[in-house]
Amino acid sequence: MTDKITPPIAKKIPHNMTHHGHTRTDNYYWMRDDERQDAQVLEHLEKENQYVQQHMSAHQVLHNALFEEMKGRIVKDDSSVPVKDGQYWYVSDVQGDDEYASHYRATNELLSDKTLLLNINELAQGYEYYDVGEMTISPNENLLAYSEDIDGRRIYTIRFKDLCTNTYLDDVLENTEGQLVWSNDNKTVFYVKKDAQTLLGFQVYRHVLGTPQSDDTLVYEEQDRQFYMELGKSRDESEIYIYLAATETSDILALDADAPMGEFKRLLPRTEGHEFGIEKLAGEYYILSNHDAKNFRLLKACEKTIGDRLQWQELIAHREHILIEGMELFDSHFVITEREMGQIRFVVHNYQGESYQLGFDDACFFAGIGYNPERTASHVRIHYSSLTTPSSVYDCDLTTGRKTLRKQQQVLGDFDSNKYASERVFVNARDGEQVPVSLVYRKDTFHKDGTNPLMQYGYGAYGITIDPSFSSTTLSLLDRGFVYAIAHIRGSEMLGRNWYEQGKKANKQNTFNDFVDVTRALTEQGYAHKDKVFASGGSAGGLLMGAVVNQAPELYLGVGIHVPFLDVLTTMLDESIPLTTNEYDEWGNPNQQAAYQSILNYSPYDNLAAQAYPNILVTTGLHDSQVQYWEPMKWVAKLRALKTDDNLLLFKTDMEAGHGGASGRFKSLQDKALEMAFFIALLSS
């Protein structure tokens, strides 16, 4: 019987840490192994996996049924909508039980002469985990570069293929971020190299094809480890960019793409607190800037004035309740992505000052600008979905706004969007703020009488907004009577930049309060039974889950916590851990006493207590480079020693995966099926 299964109990080795006169004792600090080879650590993780398997074996039929349901909704033979880039049309497709896509190109949209570029299934053979980070074609369209990660650590190797001869070049670039930018000479490329300890990309190298990587030239090194680094190219392909981004500050360096042996130079002086993005077209720069504009404004400059903000020309002024999220430039128009009261819209402008809005009709939805490589195009490609509408691809005419549906995701089985309904509601938080919530349910099983089970999801960090989009896997919950809710809590930018700032650093507690207040409101308003509430979150959303189960454990029957950031204080005090220094502007720098105390007040690991907790399923990946495996490992061990209930605490580690979980379109469904089986089984126990 499952109640006789004994959970793994970890040994305790006290490790004291003192900062600002305050001492914490961590009995499980020994679980950290940067090399991931410690026999005791690996043995304990395997015991935890066996414990999960023993407990869930009683629900294997349910687990298998859920997996087959989710897999059965996926079209086995599927292809993308072709996109034109240069002389060719590019497309990808998947066939049968293939886990990965194959990539092709053709000289016409009908793809009558398509040729294979890469078969990812062949590349992935022999690997438990495989991910292609980026594919990029040389300007003359004869060479392909792609990056691959074979263990989930997001450390990519870049390889090159000659598309004329269908052979690989000898050039191999190791220990990279996975990005590569071609100069216009078709033989010189730039890439970002990682710090071996922190895994932070901090150096840009220049490589000339045909030479060994050891001869590559370091062209830029970022000294401030708070900055992330990316590469890009201007819309008119005249400049190569080094993008530098800290949480609250941006910086961009530029190089003439026709002169790759030149020197990268800053476009404008780095100013703390100034966040901006730039695109260049026809000799003019278009700048989204937060200077004197919390929600950003759009400005324009030429090559002579780009370095002086005082000379920039304002095109779209700052508006208090409208957040500008992005822009896409075309020769005839430019498209601005805006968000008002949490909802996305697109505004199409011509260069003569006229504009119109592109809208959609769903109560709550997600829409985003797709891949639009051709600046001469007469249409903009947009991706759209809602909680009840499968992912759709539209081409929207830039002059008329007329939308043409190019493809909608096919959902196999008995799916009918008319069976489901979505709502957008606002919940009163305890401090008077109104928190947006997106809801979806099946019409014939929802009664709004407090009888339905509820699955509530949240994230709430980095200004990342989790928009309400379609998920075919969620149908397995909806068809069993669940209400699914996304709580758009503070820490996101759902309601603008201020919404984000109210959920970071010293204001972080607002994120947790919002999530709890949404749960209470939804049960009080009849959306769910108070004893049938589940919650789930991953990464920074895993931190959210860890804080919530400490602060309001009585509200939840079961909680899914995935690749979670749980030991916030210890991690943020250790600059050797990947991402730590980049995160100071998000969580605070605990080397400063006020930030130390603020983090200590909510850090999930430090606030575990001798109290009853919900049933909890924790998952992670051994090779996670974003949140190290030992954070959830330690948290589970400490929670086992403290909790006063008999509820389930399960901890599963994918010994091959990283932060993104399993690779492949079917394998990743196993983890989703596990969580759903865990939740559904609790309803009948």
Distance CA 205, CA 343 (A): 40
Query: Could you tell me how many helices (H) and strands (E) the chain has, helices first?
Result: 12, 38
- Residue 594, CA distances (Å) to 19, 56, 210 in order: 12, 44, 53
Which tokens go with 42? 């690996």
Strand pairing class (649-654; 392-397): unpaired
Give the whole-angstrom CA distance, residue 565 versus residue 542.
6
Residue 672's φ and ψ, nearest 5 degrees, are -65, -40
Enter the tokens of residue 83.
Answer: 């996109």
- The runs of H, that is alpha helices, within 257-297 are none
Residue 536: closest CA among 417, 455, 472: 455
The torsion angles phi and psi of 582, rounded to 5 degrees, stand at -70, -20
Instruction: Out of 98, 131, 624, 654, pick the active-site residue.
Output: 624
Contact 284, 291 (CB under 8 A): no
Q: How far apart are CA 520 and CA 436, in angstroms?
A: 14
Catalogue the E-assigned strands of 473-551.
Answer: 483-487, 533-538
Query: Any catalytic annotation for residue 215?
Result: no
Pick the catalytic residue from 147, 250, 492, 539: 539
Burial of 83 (0-12, 13-18, 19+ CB in 10 A): buried
β-partners of residue 334 are: 329, 349
> Which among 416, 422, 394 has a CA at the least distance from the CA of 406?
394
| C-beta of residue 281 within 8 angstroms of C-beta of residue 235 | yes
What phi and psi values does residue 591 have, to the nearest 5 degrees?
-65, -15
Contacts of 228 (CB under 8 A, 6+ apart): 200, 201, 244, 245, 246, 582
Alpha-carbon distances, residue 166 vs 116, 117, 142, 169 (angstroms) = 9, 8, 10, 10
Residue 659 designated active-site: yes
Give CA separation, 447 vs 110, 416, 485, in Å. 48, 19, 15
Which of these is catalytic: 333, 349, 562, 659? 659
**Residue 29, both tokens:** 């600090």
Give the pair of three-digit tokens for residue 152: 């989930």
**DSSP string across 608-650:** --SS---EEEEEEETT-SSS-THHHHHHHHHHHHH--S---EE
Strand partners, 119: 102
Which of 541, 593, 604, 544 lies closest to 571, judged by CA?
604
Q: CA-to-CA distance for 509 and 543, rounded, in angstroms?
A: 12
* Catalytic residue set: 539, 624, 659
